Chain A
Amino acid sequence: MYTPQLNRTQTSAPARATGEAAAPVIDVSHLHKAYATTIAVDDVSLTVNPGEIFGILGRNGAGKTTTVECITGLRTPDRGSISVLGLDPRHDRHELHERVGVQLQHSALPDRIRVGEAVDLYASFYRRPADGRELLATLGLEASRYHYFAKLSGGQKQRLSIVLALIGQPEIAVLDELTTGLDPEARRDTWRLIEGVRDRGVTIVLVTHLMEEAERLCDRVALIDRGRVIALDRPAALGAQASTSQRIRLHSPGSLGETILDGVPEVSRVERRGQDIVVFGSGDVLTAVVLAFDRAGVRAEDVRTETASLEDAFLTLTDESTATNAEMTR
């Protein structure tokens, strides 16, 4: 089997287990990149630790791809500093590409190249390539060795792109929107593969707009919105952050609900949505709401609460970021 990076696995695994701070493999500080008409990345700072799966999460157009393009030396930042494995991505581009495997969106192979040819060709680009045959077997592409790239399914193309990102035995793999366009089953298969890659000691930077993907795979996630990092934490911690500003929706016609909840300490805000009200609050806001209604002699009807997930965190945090932005421009 293919087992590179063994020594790295051994050194990075304890660091991961104990949570101690190892020197980051990627250090981005106040990155800023503008194109002719738009600011793609406004101000992004983040660090990626060895051996982790680091997620860069955000809506389409949030600045994720530009960020990784700067990290991998494909674009020159306007401002800010980037260090990857102690290298400057622009000046040490060649060395960087020996040690960082990259799979980018909108990149492909010629239609009529065979899978095996592509693997052999890309292997020849690197100092100490992995065994292409074994990699293909690991990713379930052995039977497709003689197939043309154009004839592969979406899932097979993505798996081949993982093979090519790993063929140079990289210390870091940057995977951009890897599962976009895949069906759920192929997506789950790909997730298992990514975990397998991490278990070999490869640090992974995963760019995605899928909450579920980040929640399932990532050790830490940077939420990017409008070119800024608006949160950076473990997925669970981000979810918890959202649960502190919980939302409860209940049926309450008229203005009685607002009157009842006025002055309840757990409630921070009440919004009317037609016949319903949405209550924002922290702590055990649900109990507080039901008790307040009960004290007033009114039955709280049709009460719904959402369990906090990364998706809530995402919506809450990007909402806040939008609100802050609106205030700033005012």
Chain B
Amino acid sequence: MSTLSFALTPRRRRAFGLLVATEMKIGLRRPVAPIVAVGIPLALLVIFGSIPATTRPTAAFGGISFFTLYVPSLLVFVLIAVGLGGLPQQLAAYREQGVLRRLSTTPVPPSWLLAAQLLISLMLAIIGITILLGVGALAFGLALPATIGGGLVALASLVLTVAATLGLGLCAAALASSPQVAGAFQALFFYPLAFFSGLYIPLQEIHSQVVSTIAKVLPTGAGFNALHASFLGHSPGIEPLVVLAAWAIGCSVAAARLFRWE
């Protein structure tokens, strides 16, 4: 109901910049989200990258190593940790404490705070992905798409996965009336969603039609499929990309309709 109007005069652009900078400073004073979203997957990457058995090509995985298969799962981990952890927690706390209400009495609409938090989550996601891919490629010989076309497909897969998972986060932020509820959402949805990205075991190992069908329609499963194929230089096909786009758009529309500023 509040206007997402951005009459971006230079003064208002400065105000938004200061809001983002201040929110980042506040976030770094209690860096739970960055540690969980980047630290844990980085630790897993280093562990599995250091074990010879997991870095050897395996026939069971179609001639690639477990490590190569696992990196897309870790990328999805980063994104759902940012989307379901940081973003809804922060916004629910701000709503409950009355930070959004305080802002709504100034010339700046409370939607700016949502935009700032979204931007910070996006930056955190980009930083996390860059660190994982950088460390993976430099320290453990992770193969990245070699051609420009392959790189663009991988980038498109990444962008859509980010959009879908942050969309989920916005939905959770819209529905969570308090940080406790946001925490419950996270506990309830994080692990199942992570499962379908192959975080616990590669889904190929399960050999279940049901599991792979569910994975195809979930943002984490579709994200894994898109990232896995495109990082190997294959075409992911249109299906996972459409699923991701649908999640991104559907969640954003739902969040915009459901969001409560108080």
Contact = CB atoms under 8 A, between A and B. Distances in A.
Interface string A88-106: 0000001001100011101
A125 interface: yes
Contacts of A126: 106-107
B106 A125 contact: yes
Given A112-B30, A121-B18, A121-B19, A104 B105 contact: yes
A47 B203 CA distance: 69
Contacts of A98: 107
Contacts of B22: 113, 117, 121
B108 interface: yes
Nearest to B29: A112
A74 interface: yes
A107 interface: yes
A102 B105 contact: yes
A256 B132 CA distance: 95
B152 to A, nearest CB: 38
B105 A74 contact: yes
Given A74-B105, A107-B102, A124 B18 contact: yes
B15 interface: yes
B260 interface: no
B230 to A, nearest CB: 39
Contacts, number: 62
A235 to B, nearest CB: 27
Q: Chain B at the A interface: mostly helix, strand, loop or mixed?
A: helix
A241 interface: no
A106 B106 contact: no
Interface residues of B, number: 22
Interface stretch (B93-101, B123-131, B247-255): B93-101
B105 A124 contact: no
A168 B25 contact: no
A122 interface: yes
A122 B105 contact: no
B177 to A, nearest CB: 14
Contacts of A164: 102
Interface residues on A, range: 20 to 34
B239 to A, nearest CB: 42
Contact of A72 (B11, B93, B105): B105
Contacts of B93: 110
A295 interface: no
B104 interface: yes
A125 B107 contact: yes
B99 A127 contact: no
Contact of B98 (A72, A108, A124): A108
A124 B14 contact: yes
B26 interface: yes
Given A106-B101, A107-B101, A124-B15, A113 B26 contact: yes
Interface in B21-51: 22, 25-26, 29-30
Interface in A116-132: 117, 120-122, 124-127
Given A121-B18, A121-B19, A122-B106, A107 B98 contact: yes
A215 B102 CA distance: 28
B210 to A, nearest CB: 43
Nearest to B16: A124
Contacts of B98: 104, 106-108
Contacts of A127: 11, 107
A39 interface: no
Contacts of B108: 125
A125 B105 contact: no
A126 B25 CA distance: 22
Given A97-B107, A112-B29, A117-B22, A104 B101 contact: yes
Contacts of B26: 110, 112-113
B82 to A, nearest CB: 19
A305 B41 CA distance: 77
A319 B106 CA distance: 38
A109 interface: yes
A127 B30 CA distance: 32
A207 B117 CA distance: 33
A122 B19 CA distance: 9
A97 B98 CA distance: 17
Q: Which of A102, A124, A164 has the most CB of B within 10 A?
A: A124
Contacts of A122: 106
A110 B97 contact: yes
Interface of A: 72, 74, 94, 97-98, 102-104, 106-113, 117, 120-122, 124-127, 164, 168
Interface of B: 11, 14-15, 18-19, 22, 25-26, 29-30, 93-94, 97-99, 101-102, 104-108
The 10 closest A-B pairs by CB, nearest first: A102-B105, A107-B102, A107-B98, A124-B15, A107-B101, A108-B98, A112-B29, A125-B108, A97-B107, A108-B97
24 contacts: A74-B105, A97-B105, A97-B106, A102-B105, A106-B101, A107-B98, A108-B98, A108-B99, A109-B97, A109-B102, A110-B26, A110-B94, A110-B97, A111-B97, A112-B29, A113-B22, A113-B26, A121-B19, A122-B106, A124-B14, A124-B15, A124-B18, A124-B19, A125-B106
Given A104-B105, A107-B99, 19 more contacts: A72-B105, A74-B105, A97-B105, A103-B105, A104-B98, A104-B102, A107-B102, A107-B105, A108-B99, A109-B97, A110-B93, A112-B26, A117-B22, A117-B25, A120-B18, A121-B19, A121-B22, A124-B15, A164-B102
